[in-house]
Amino acid sequence: MMKLLMGTHTEIREFLIDYVENALPALRKIQFRMHLLACTDCSAYLRKYNTSVKLSQNYLQDPPPEELVNLTLKFLEERMAAKEREADPYPCH
Ligand SMILES: [Zn+2]
């Protein structure tokens, strides 16, 4: 049940780029957000990914929409920070 709602680690990492580029269907986006809120592994993975995107943007002529990526991450980080202050009621897997 939680897998259906949240997706799996593999799915999250497979669809990470689409998520960051806001190219996912609505259901996938919801799965992604639910998973990231509950899974510290994948949220750390996303942060690492975004850090590398930011670094690479320094060298690109035509960078991805940084503002969109930043807004998405800001939202997620705020939600994750709020989540971390609570006891986590959902196991990761
Ligand atoms: Zn995960």
pLDDT of 3: 64
User: Any long-range contacts for 18-25 (C-beta under 8 Å, 24+ apart)?
Assistant: 19/72, 20/46, 20/49, 20/50, 20/53, 20/64, 20/69, 20/72, 21/64, 21/65, 21/68, 22/68, 22/72
**Element (H or E) spanning 89, and its range?**
none
Distance 35 CA to ligand 1 centre (A): 6
Q: How far is the CA of 65 from the centre of ligand 1 (A)?
A: 25
Q: What is the pLDDT of residue 4?
A: 63
Task: Give CB contacts under 8 A, 24+ apart, made by 84-89.
Answer: 88/38
pLDDT in tens, 63-83: 557 777 788 888 888 888 887
In this predicted model, what pLDDT tens digit does every residue of 7-58 receive, in sequence order?
Answer: 889 988 888 888 888 899 998 898 889 999 999 999 999 999 888 887 776 6
How far does residue 34's CA lie from ligand 1's centre (Å)? 10
pLDDT at 23: 92
How much distance in Å is there from the Cα of 59 to the middle of ligand 1? Answer: 30
Distance from the alpha carbon of residue 39 to the mean position of ligand 1, in angstroms: 5
Q: What is the pTM of this model?
A: 0.53
